[in-house]
Amino acid sequence: MSQESAAGERLLLLDFDGTVCLGDDPVLGYAEQIDRILAERGEQAPGPGVRDTVSRALDEGNLLVPEIRFDSSGLPEGVDDEPAPAAGAAHPLSWPLQDGYQLTQLLAVQAGLSHELCGQAFREGRRVLIARGFENSDVHAPEGLSDVLAQLRGQCRVVLATNSPAQSFAPWLHYLQLTDSFDLVINDSRKPYGMPQVVARARETAQGGPVRIENVLSVGDIWRNDLEHVHAIGGQTLMIDRFATGLGCPDHRVREVDEALALMRSWTNAPV
């Protein structure tokens, strides 16, 4: 492939949880492990427990639960104490909240857990869910996604980027029937801190040179994690805003993944 033809290639950069992997059980499994760790330490989150609180929030479509504690400035307690990028795989606390994972972490930190313990709970929740069997959960891919990605790969590069660890990730793709749906899978992405490295690596999937940034479309459900960096350097963004947060300034904003799939098709068919 020549440098000129590579420059005309497109890159579709996809998030995993909340984008190509749907269902609330992974979030609730994380929250369940937070409750377990708190109980082992003799501590407890406000209210009925983190899992029950998060489950109620997801059912009601409202992440602003009364169990969140606020300081005198009006910010949730702990948000100003987020780890620096050097904190490894620990994810920063986010505010305003955009998904159940962020709510779970906020409640955990406010109950006294470190970011590192939250990371352990996240990984253990994934392990337990796999052990119980995906078929016993609500984990699923958007209807028709596998076929859509097969079509899109004939027109652009398709890369998956996720904060999920590489270990034991293959069963997720197998269950979702997405094992062969991507040109590249980037695990342990450390989003948002690692997003510049993720984008650079994804752009290099073109055989003749990096994909031009204006030909990159990033799709995800968290503005800061999935979209903000791509927007800042001139790429295009599509946000799946399940909870209608209105955060960020994506090029496209939808509530449902089905709407996102239609926009992805339109993007690949538009002139470069």
pLDDT tens digit string along 21-47?
999 999 999 999 999 999 999 998 888
| Segment 151-175, tens digit of pLDDT | 999 899 999 999 998 999 999 999 9
Confidence of residue 2 (pLDDT cuts 50, 70, 90): very low
Helices assigned H by DSSP within the chain: 3-7, 25-40, 50-60, 100-110, 115-132, 145-152, 170-175, 195-203, 228-232, 257-269
Is the model's pLDDT at 48 over the cut of 70? yes
More confidently predicted of 56 and 7: 56
**Neighbour-count burial for 126-148, b at 16+ CB within 10 Å, e otherwise:** beebbeeebeebebebbeebbeb
For 214, the token pair is: 């204006």
At residue 84, the pLDDT reads 52
User: In this structure, what DSSP letter does residue 95 have?
Assistant: S
Please list, in sequence order, all residues whose beta carbon lies within 8 angstroms of the beta carbon of residue 155, skipping any fewer than 6 positions away.
10, 268, 269
Please list, in sequence order, all residues whose beta carbon lies within 8 angstroms of the beta carbon of residue 111, skipping any fewer than 6 positions away.
34, 38, 43, 44, 45, 46, 50
CB 86 within 8 A of CB 194: no
* Burial class (CB within 10 angstroms; exposed 0-12, middle 13-18, buried 19+) of 266: exposed
Is domain 3-22+140-269 classified as CATH 3.40.50.1000?
Answer: yes
How is the chain split into domains, by residue range? 3-22+140-269, 25-136
Of 2-6, 13-17, 178-182, 198-202, the poorest mean pLDDT is in: 2-6
At residue 121, the pLDDT reads 96
CB 153 within 8 A of CB 8: no
Confidence of residue 1 (pLDDT cuts 50, 70, 90): very low
For 191, the token pair is: 């989003």
CB 217 within 8 A of CB 12: yes
CA dist 46 and 56 (Å) reads 14
| Segment 67-122, tens digit of pLDDT | 999 999 999 998 876 555 544 445 678 899 999 999 999 999 999 999 999 999 99
User: In this structure, what DSSP letter does residue 138 have?
Assistant: -
